[in-house]
Structure 1
Amino acid sequence: METQWITELPHANMDKRPRKRPRLTWDMPPPIPPPKVIPPIYCGQEFVNVAVSNYAYSALNYKGHPRNGSPPRRNDDKDGHYVFAVGENLTPRYLILSKMGEGTFGQVLECLDDETKELVAIKIVRSIHKYREAAMIEIDVLQKLAKHDISGTRCVQIRNWFDYRNHICIVFEKLGPSLYDFLRKNSYRSFPIDLVREIGRQLLESVAFMHDLRLIHTDLKPENILLVSSEYIKVPDYKFLSRSTKEGSYYKNLPKSSAIKLIDFGSTTFEHQDHTYVVSTRHYRAPEVILGLGWNYPCDLWSVGCILLELCSGEALFQTHENLEHLAMMERVLGPLPHHMVIRADRHAEKYFRRGTRLDWPDGAASRESMRAVWKLPRLQNLVMQHVDHSAGDIIDLLQGLLRYEPAERLKAREALRHPFFTRDSRRCGYSL
């Protein structure tokens, strides 16, 4: 069984933090512990057996700084990112093994927790005030989620947090790859409908859990949904079996387990907070956000609909980077925008419509390429039928409920969980390969 893949953007839940955050004396080296054996670590396709003695373990550390001590101080890079070297420590407790990912917030490192002997993912936030403040808000959200998610099955678990050399560091359990990374490394091949069903069920359960706590994620996307396990199996891709099978590309990978967890709560918003700004990553942004009509819980359900369709097809539904083109794509796939929403659009969105009623398309298109990108999109039903064999009728109906323009008419998370797509075959207990 092959077990590759590296996760990229992990996150998690953690201990209660004090009201005030004291500076911790991380640079005081502790006594040298007895020899230990560090378990094997898989890194991509490489198998690494790390350290079987104090000497070998210390050799991993940065240029002879004390065993389990912090490295010499370095200046952050020009963007405020923490500068590190693989093999040195992040505080005396965490040994840096690899870099897992990077984003606008900072970077994520794979580390070994010297106390628990557990592999963890540590999010190191840039030493810039607005990102530090956002990180503290995320910690508050993570702790609220952890308090209520007793089983720890819905959202990534936070293990710890600390302020290190002006960087907020959040320690998470280490999970598998994101759904986006799995699709990308699998040449954007779609998932079987039964796997989409199991992932969709868990995703909606997690969203319902957050909404019950009066929290809105606001940034649901395949990058922020992680498989719990990195293990996968290789199966024939039947769409290619009629052709030559000399190349391995005629096989595709499928996760060995369908278990997932939500991550990245840096944009999560409480119900009572301001909801006037723009939220969500472009491809998964709801129409009410683009039109400036305000947003609430339903914006998460629009994102869920886009994600489920992407898992069915292998590609993002609305691959665009511009508002007018995005709205034109919506109308191409889902039909015209409701008149009552158009006339309420804010002053920033008015320019997308002619005489305030009809979308200014294709006249307002930025290019012929943009026009072609819209024209090539099929209607929702046809798009699903291209990729789904059985259960097509049920998932089309579910998607039509999740992708309703009017937020008040959109399915709620718990309503979606009662949809026949999830309940029709009550005997099904998991996806089978």
Structure 2
Amino acid sequence: TSATGWAPPLEVNSLLPSDCALYLVEKFLGEGTFGKVAKCRDLTTNQEVAIKITKPSHRDSGLFELNALAEITKLDADKYCLIKFLDWFEYRSHICIVYEMLDQSLHDFMNIREHRPLLIHEIRTIARELLISLKGLKEINMAHRDIKPDNIMLVNQASEPFRVKLIDFGLAINPTDMETGTFMQNLRYRAPEVILGLPLDERVDMWTVGYTLAWLYTGFHIHSVDSEYTVIRSLTMRQGIRCCLSYDDLKNFYQDKTKMREMLEIDPNKRITPEEALKHSFFTMEQPSADSEKSNSQESTSKKGHPQPEKTTVPQEPAAAPQEKSRSEIKDDEGEKSNTQAGSRKRKRSVEQSQDPEQPSLTEKAVKKSRIEIKEDIIQQEAAKSTTQSGSRKRKRGVEQNQDHDHCLQRESAVKKSRIESKEDVLQQQEAAKSNSPAGSRKRKRSVEQSQDPEPSPQTESPSKKRKTW
């Protein structure tokens, strides 16, 4: 039922409760510190709504949120990605605030997908809409002070993937009313200036948005959250004084995205604003146009091809000899050689010579002398090396020749031996054939007699016998 008997504060006069609204509670969606959220149905319009029911012990928190909604309703909720406020009433000391029905929070969404990181284009969509929300709140001088995945709702993941809205304005306040040392934000997403007790403003929300994007990309919290001390220690250990989200886990996401890194600057004065972040190429997806690239290339080529204006003011000199080049030609040649290392070395030498071409310095003479000595040492070493190598080669050739000569001798002796053995075999065969004949028997008899007297005198032997025995 609508609120009865309760006078709203002056700030919420524009949010007067309805007199005849009836809501049917279908189920409770969740419970927090200050109350519960129920899915209800408006019986007059048959529309599904979400009603935030504050606990009686936190009734002031409900009134505080109504005061913030009085300012937030000045903005277009759909345009600035904020939850749409519909109605409010009081029931048995419970402040009940009626909102549009949304899908689920980013915290629940990541739990369902087991904290698997999101893709870059998915994070881009969420980041753009969160920055639009911060921009809208800044226009009406409001700071949310409690941005976290639980307070970022997906509108309808089935029909509008990754379109989100910001909810829960129970801590929203004008930045000028924020006092130093005020306790705010979840410890995991708490800005450094809140922990250190420094002056506060709406830039605390930019820190939490940047940290939430990092959590969506990695799937885990990028520093310890045991206490405020561990949070600050983790930031200083990993990043030093400048916190730019340059962790190894996020280098692919934040590589060459300076503006995105500036969302997590420890110094709030260096932290990027929503307007500056929305103009970054990460969101605009702008690339340099072809005309600008062409003009830049033409300018660079013109600078390389044309001499500088200072050269035209130099007075003319007598014509040089045909074999000599003018200064401009030499510089053009040097410009062509600048792409190679040899050209760069020649250019360096020409610069040194242009300073004093006729009188080289003592250091140059010393360098040249040392280079000549080094070259002579190298030549001597190479000559000694060559002599030793030639001597070793000659010795090697001599050994090889000796081996070849011995091998040839062995081969020749083997051939001679085989020939002698073959001749002896032939002679034996012939003698065997002759021994079978009568003449052969007589010859055998004579050979036996000769064997008994192995040294006969040459006078007693006849010429015929000598020829036979030979």
Q: TM-score, normalised by structure 2?
A: 0.55
Q: Assess, with a 3 A threshold, how the Cα gap between structure 1 residues 266 and 198 changes in structure 2: closer, same or farther.
A: same
Once the two structures are aligned, what percentage of the paired residues are identical?
32
Aligned to 2:171: 267
Q: Is the CA contact (8 Å cut-off) linking 1:191 and 1:311 kept in structure 2?
A: yes
In the alignment, what sits opposite 1:250?
none
Q: Deviations over 1:158-217 (max 9, x none)?
A: 110001111000011010111111011110011100111111011011011101111011
Separation in structure 2 between the aligned mates of residue 183 and residue 267 of structure 1, nearest angstrom = 25
Alignment pair present for 1:329 and 2:234: yes
For each residue in 1:314-343, what CA deviation from the matched residue of structure 2 results, as whole angstroms up to 9, or x when unmatched?
1122341301111111113322379xxxxx
Q: Which residue of 2 aligns with 1:160?
A: 87
Matches within 5 A, 1:10-159: 18=13, 93-128=22-57, 131-149=58-76, 151=78, 153-159=80-86
Does the Cα contact within 8 Å between 1:394 and 1:421 map onto a contact in 2?
Answer: no
Equivalent in the alignment of 2:276 = 415
Give, in whole Å, the separation in 2 of the partners of 1:22 and 1:160. 6
Q: Which amino acid aligns with 2:269?
A: A
| Structure 2 unpaired stretches of 5+ | 1-10, 289-470
Q: How does 1:295-374 map to 2 (within 5 A)?
A: 295-336=200-241
Q: Write the letter of the residue equivalent to 1:204.
A: L
Equivalenced residues, count = 277
Distance 1:17 1:297, change over 3 A: closer
Q: Retained in 1: the 8 A contact 2:183–2:194?
A: yes
Call closer, same or farther: CA 1:171–1:186 in 2, change over 3 Å. Answer: same
1:379–1:420 CA distance, 2 compared to 1 (3 A): closer
Q: Which residue of 1 aligns with 2:255?
A: 393
- Quote the offset at 1:421 in angstroms: 1.5
SS in 1 for 2:229: helix
Amino acid at match of 1:127: P
TM-score by length of 1: 0.59
1:259 Cα deviation after fit:
1.1
User: How many Å separate the matches in 2 of 1:259 and 1:211?
Assistant: 21
Distance verdict in 2 for CA 1:121–1:410, change over 3 Å: same
Gap change, CA 1:426 and 1:100, over 3 Å in 2: farther
Higher gyration radius (CA): 2
Alignment partner of 1:257 is 2:161: yes
CA apart distance, 1:152:
5.2
- Give the CA deviation at 1:304: 1.1
Instruction: Give 2:264's match in structure 1, choosing from 400, 403, 407.
Output: 403
Give the counterpart letter for 2:232 in structure 1: L
Does the alignment pair 1:216 with 2:143? yes
Q: Matches of 1:154 and 1:394 in 2, distance apart?
A: 28
Shift of 1:423: 2.2
User: Residue 258 of structure 1 aligns to a residue in which SS?
Assistant: strand
Counterparts of 1:384 and 1:420 in 2: how far apart (Å)?
18
Q: In the alignment, what sits opposite 1:54?
A: none
Tell whether the 8 Å contact from 1:175 to 1:230 is kept in structure 2 after alignment. no
Write out per-residue CA displacement over residues 339-369 of structure 1, whole angstroms, 9 at most, x where no aligned residue.
xxxxxxxxxxxxxxxxxxxxxxxxxxxxxxx
Q: How big is the shift at 1:281?
A: 0.8
Task: Give the distance between the partners of 2:276 and 2:39, measured in 1 at CA.
Answer: 38
Specify the SS of the correspondent of 1:97. Answer: strand
8 Å contact from structure 2 (residues 27, 39) kept in 1: yes
Q: Is the 8 A contact 2:254 2:260 kept in 1?
A: no
- Helix, strand or coil at the partner of 2:30: strand
More helix by share: 2
Are the aligned partners of 1:275 and 1:296 in contact in 2 as well (CA < 8 Å)?
A: no
The one-letter amino acid of 1:323's match is E
2:305 corresponds in structure 1 to none
Is the Cα contact below 8 Å between 1:332 and 1:379 reproduced in 2?
Answer: no
More relative contact order, 1 or 2 (CA 8 Å, 6+ apart):
1
CA contact (8 A) 2:17 2:87 kept: no
User: Residues 107 and 22 from structure 1, CA distance in 2 versus in 1: closer, same or farther, beyond 3 angstroms?
Assistant: closer
1:100–1:108 Cα contact (<8 Å) kept: yes
Higher strand proportion: 1
**Mapping of residues 183-194 of structure 1, within 5 Å:** 183-194=110-121
Shift of 1:230: 4.1
Say what the alpha-carbon RMSD is for the aligned residues: 2.7
AA at the equivalent of 2:164: I
Q: CA deviation at 1:141?
A: 1.6
